[in-house]
Amino acid sequence: MSEAIREVLDWLKSRPDIHSLRAAVCDLNGIMRGKRIPVDQAAKALEGKLRMPYSVCGVDVWGEDIVGNKLVFSTGDADGICQWTGRGILPMDWTAHPTALIPLWLSDESGAPFLGDPRRALARILDRYKALKLTPVVATELEFYLVDPKPARPRGPVSPITGRRLDSDAALSIDEIDDFEGFLHEVYEACRLQDIPVDSAIAENGVGQFEINLNHVPDALRAADDAILFKRTVKGIARNHGFIASFMAKPYGKRSGSGFHVHFSLLDEDGNNVFDDGTPRGSDILRHAVGGQLAAMAESTLVFAPHFNSFRRLRPNSHAPTAVAWGYENRMVAIRIPGGPNAARRIEHRVAGADANPYLVLAAILGAALIGIEKQLNPGEPATTDVYERDMTKLPPDWASAIASFENGNLVAEIFPDALRGSLVACKKQELETFALRVNNFEFETYLEAI
């Protein structure tokens, strides 16, 4: 037994109030799937003695098998080996009885990584950076809505302080932060216990919408883990406070969408930021990285906008990008180079919605940047004006187009393994078909008698 496992088991002994654990992997939709196990099986999970079907990574958003999935039918739905990621046992004290999560990822019988696991896709990209002696430093910003769980459609939450329902956009409202301080305090405390580096929180530009930033870390796998764990934490604590925390990209048609913005820089082996050339412009390596991200952006849009609802967010004049464009201190573009000290020069990628899978998002962003650096791609001139009205290359306009672009893309084939690409395309086609078969109430109201 390794020293790391002993330390984790010692911690578990210090928590006699924990009687069960969750052992889970992350699927393509960013949903944790796994088992409830007794505490006395912790060592088994940590030592790689648990098994789960390979197909668990590739089920659809409802947890249904993908029709024709070869991982299910041609292999007899074979099991993979669950390996501990090394991220401790993470306390979840917001459940009815305190529990903790053991984060896992899948390998085959030989111990080789299962390449249909989204966390493995990101790890492959990071191995390529390591070979170049470069380390991505990543920070994320996640937006979400608190909504009243009682109505059938989303409504603003009732303030625990005033008893009044929120019904207006209150961007950067300190009063709104104060009203929900009880909820926010518990989120911050839970993140502290899980070593999730939470930073500032703001009331965003929507009814009951908040943004909480996660500090930068020199480990992109950890940054993606943090984002997954953060979302679970926020949703679990919100339920205890009588709310639903929604990371839907666009729960309200006429209000702000929720984004998942990613900031990153690159350090060389001496700890120098290679995006910094001593000027606000940034280095050639920065612009090559931007060039790669622009080149792969249309092909990668399915990763950034993976669901039917995602494309309600990517609309003109919505503060969400629609054009394949970049610029300095320009929040209308997909790739923004923020201002600030030259030593902190970085790239902000603004396309992904809060509904996207963090492992796939970081793999797509960092993988495309790597292609740009290796091929020395030119990003063209930065945009300095409103790009919504300009004649520029656009992101795929709808979900079906994004699926096709990802399926046929040459650059995403350099980023993602074939097993994962095929599984994601099949997953999204099944989800698309399911939505296509549903007729909503507005369609009936509009067409049933009128035509």
Higher-pLDDT residue of 273 and 329 is 273
Q: Residues 314, 318, 320, 321: what is their CA dihedral angle, to the nearest 10 degrees?
A: 80
Q: What band does 448 get if pLDDT is binned at 50, 70 and 90?
A: confident
**What percentage of the chain reaches a pLDDT higher than 70?**
96
The mean of the pLDDT values for the chain is 93
Quick: pLDDT tens for 422-431.
Answer: 999 999 999 9
Q: What band does 98 get if pLDDT is binned at 50, 70 and 90?
A: very high
Three-state SS for 37? Answer: strand
pLDDT exceeds 60 at position 192:
yes
Q: What band does 153 get if pLDDT is binned at 50, 70 and 90?
A: confident
pLDDT on residue 74? 59
The answer to whether the CB of 116 falls within 8 A of the CB of 35 is: no
Q: What band does 159 get if pLDDT is binned at 50, 70 and 90?
A: confident
Domains (range + CATH), the chain: 3-114 (3.10.20.70), 126-416 (3.30.590.10)
The CA distance from 250 to 244, in Å, is 15
Nearest Cα residue to 388 out of 311, 316, 437? 316
Amino acid (one-letter) located at 90: L
The CA distance from 167 to 165, in Å, is 6
Residue 317 structure tokens: 């004049």
pLDDT exceeds 90 at position 385:
no
**What percentage of the chain reaches a pLDDT higher than 90?**
79
pLDDT on residue 72? 65
What is the DSSP code (8-state) at residue 64? P
Helix (H) / strand (E) element for 11: namely helix 3-13
Higher-pLDDT residue of 171 and 152 is 152
pLDDT on residue 239? 96
pLDDT exceeds 60 at position 107:
yes
pTM: 0.95
Start-to-end Cα distance in the chain? 71
Those residues whose C-beta lies under 8 Å from the C-beta of residue 377, and which sit 6 or more positions away, are: 288, 291, 292, 294, 295, 371
pLDDT on residue 164? 85
pLDDT exceeds 90 at position 387:
no
Nearest Cα residue to 320 out of 405, 260, 247, 244? 260
